[in-house]
Amino acid sequence: MRKCVLAYSGGLDTSVILGWLQDEGYEVHCVYVDVGQPCEDREAIMQKAHDNGAASARLVDVQEELCRDFAFPVLQWQAKYEGIYLLGTSIARPLISKACLEVAREVGAEAFVHGATGKGNDQCRFQLAAEALEPDVKMIAPWRMQSFRDKFPGRTEMIDFCDVKKIPVKASLAKPYSSDENCLHISYEAGKLEDTAVNGVAIVDFGMGVSPQEAPDKVEEVTVGFESGVPVSINGVKKSPLAMVQEMNEIAGRNGVGRIDIVENRFVGMKSRGVYEAPGMTALYAAHLQLEQLTLDRDLVHLRDRLAPEVAEMVYYGFWYCPKMDALLAFIKEAQQPVTGEVTLGLYKGNIEIHGRTSPNSLYDEEVASMEGGGSYDQTDAEGFIRLQGLPSRVLGKVRPRSY
């Protein structure tokens, strides 16, 4: 019998796909990749997979790896897709593929199956990662198959299928929106959010924090420590990467930080509207940027800033496992070596204030910067500097005078 690995959540879509794959003649091995999504009972989800015909079912916890090896390097790049989105969902997808392929290799599966739709970005991320790691892997994406869509044109048919198969699912025919969550963020899209005239923030039931209006009426200070650009401590206490993210989610979340509502350009070409919340990562991005301003020289920061949108685009599209990303990750690791120190943030009703920053590698020279004079800077040197900078303009102005 043909074997496949299914990226399994236990929800309606993957429950239907599990049953459908068996009808298609596959021995199905379910993999629940734990990236920090909320779940009532993970063991119950594994048991549900077994009860509904899975040859095996296992949970693979990759939360620490997600934060350490995926989210924090993207943070070091200050990468934001289209200048806004912190890439919370995008970052997790290549790691999910990697975890599923490890199981596929172990059980001898020929195919990797996912439940991403044929309209979204995730299908690209799953497949591009999987094929980079296992070039000969067979990808099965049911939502891209006409026969599957003919059988399940809507949620009613999917729920009916589960009833016939006696597969327990919690699903309704009407949802105001769909959501995807991991330890980095929650995304909300589809349903009523597809109307861009609707106030998305007003209709979403956010899960990682309170609204700015409901946040406390006082500033909360938190000090974040970094070593070579990696967040390592909160208020002087060392933390693991996952603990850093989780605790910052709590602190920033209770202060209304990290909500956005955007219309973004999907990789497949269409525009889509999403509402996102990422309280902890939003605060960590802000703290990291401030420490960089203190410790990195101008030309290096400006080069990083020119490349960061390209890194964000690669992560968003799903090109994690490729030579260009390998090189860029090596570059940022080297560039971040001096970014060590602490930044104190003031969090207040969705806002992030900077209350202080210190670093043993600070390039800030108070004597040189002071308006009071002193230090090694001689203001008379600026005369020649400006004259040389202006030389091309003066020559050009004589040859081709400008009207004004």
What is the spatial distance between Cα 148 and Cα 134, in angstroms, rounded to a whole number? 25
User: Do residues 235 and 191 touch, judged by C-beta distance below 8 A?
Assistant: no
Percentage of the chain exceeding pLDDT 70: 98
Q: Looking at 97, 122, 180, 357, which residue is catalytic?
A: 122
Average pLDDT over residues 187-193: 92
Same domain, 126 and 190: no
Average pLDDT over residues 234-254: 98
List the structure tokens of 198: 């609707």
Q: Where is the binding site for ATP, in residues?
A: 7-15, 115
Same domain, 143 and 201: no
Is 122 an annotated catalytic residue?
yes
The pLDDT score that the predictor gives to residue 350 is 98
Closest CA to 22 of 48, 42, 2, 44: 2
Same domain, 247 and 100: no
Same domain, 105 and 234: no
Backbone angles phi, psi at 261, to 5 degrees: -135, 115
Backbone angles phi, psi at 348, to 5 degrees: -150, 110
Q: Max CA-CA distance within the chain?
A: 86
Cβ-based neighbour number of residue 177 at 10 Å:
19
In a domain, 402, yes or no: no
Same domain, 353 and 375: no
Is 217 an annotated catalytic residue?
no
Single out the residue in 165, 196, 215 at which a domain terminates.
Answer: 165
Give the pLDDT band of residue 178 (cuts 50, 70, 90).
confident
The per-residue DSSP string of 371-394 comes to: TT--TT--TTHHHHHHHHHHHHHH
pLDDT digits (tens, 9 = 90+) for 323-345: 999 999 999 999 999 999 999 99
Its domain, for residue 392, covers: 371-396
The per-residue DSSP string of 45-97 comes to: HHHHHHHTT-SEEEEEE-HHHIIIIIIHHHHHTT--BTTTB--HHHHHHHHHH
Average pLDDT, the chain: 95
In a domain, 54, yes or no: yes
The pLDDT score that the predictor gives to residue 154 is 86
pLDDT digits (tens, 9 = 90+) for 57-94: 999 999 999 999 999 999 999 999 999 999 999 999 99
Same domain, 254 and 352: yes
Same domain, 42 and 189: no
Is 261 an annotated catalytic residue?
no
Average pLDDT over residues 133-144: 96
Same domain, 107 and 82: yes
In a domain, 350, yes or no: yes
What is the spatial distance between Cα 206 and Cα 186, in angstroms, rounded to a whole number? 8
Same domain, 278 and 185: yes
Enumerate helices (H) and strands (E) in the chain, giving the number of each: 15, 14
pLDDT digits (tens, 9 = 90+) for 95-115: 999 999 999 999 999 999 999
Give the HSE-up count for residue 295: Cα atoms under 13 Å, Cβ half-sphere: 24
Q: Where is the binding site for L-aspartate, in residues?
A: 117, 121-122
Same domain, 139 and 188: no
Give the pLDDT band of residue 374 (cuts 50, 70, 90).
low
* CATH code, domain with 146: 3.40.50.620
Q: Where is the binding site for L-citrulline, in residues?
A: 85, 90, 121, 125, 178, 187, 264, 276
Single out the residue in 132, 165, 198 at which a domain terminates.
Answer: 165
Give the pLDDT band of residue 170 (cuts 50, 70, 90).
confident
pLDDT digits (tens, 9 = 90+) for 38-59: 887 899 999 999 999 999 999 9
The pLDDT score that the predictor gives to residue 38 is 85
Closest CA to 272 of 35, 75, 81, 74: 81
Q: Looking at 178, 240, 370, 393, which residue is catalytic?
A: 178
Average pLDDT over residues 354-374: 87
Sheet holding 26-34, edge to edge: 56-61, 26-34, 2-7, 111-113, 138-140
Single out the residue in 128, 144, 165 at which a domain terminates.
Answer: 165
Is 381 an annotated catalytic residue?
no
* Apex 316 CA angle, 312 and 318, nearest 5: 115
In a domain, 365, yes or no: no
Percentage of the chain exceeding pLDDT 90: 88
Same domain, 130 and 244: no
In a domain, 318, yes or no: no
In a domain, 288, yes or no: yes
pLDDT digits (tens, 9 = 90+) for 249-307: 999 999 999 999 999 999 999 999 999 999 999 999 999 999 999 999 999 999 999 99
In a domain, 301, yes or no: no
pTM: 0.95
The pLDDT score that the predictor gives to residue 367 is 80
Count Cβ neighbours within 10 Å for each residue of 341-372 and write b for 16 or more, e otherwise.
bbbbbbbbbbebeeeebebeebeeeeeeeeee
> Going by C-beta distance under 8 Å and a sequence separation of 6 or more, which residues neighbour residue 24?
none
Same domain, 95 and 50: yes
Residue 402 has pLDDT above 70, yes or no: yes
Give the pLDDT band of residue 234 (cuts 50, 70, 90).
very high
Give the range with max mean pLDDT: 28-37, 186-195, 377-386.
28-37
Q: Where is the binding site, in residues?
A: 7-15, 85, 90, 115, 117, 121-122, 125, 178, 187, 264, 276
* CATH code, domain with 208: 3.90.1260.10
Count: domains in the chain: 3
Give the pLDDT band of residue 173 (cuts 50, 70, 90).
low
Average pLDDT over residues 213-230: 98
In a domain, 38, yes or no: yes
Residue 371 has pLDDT above 80, yes or no: no
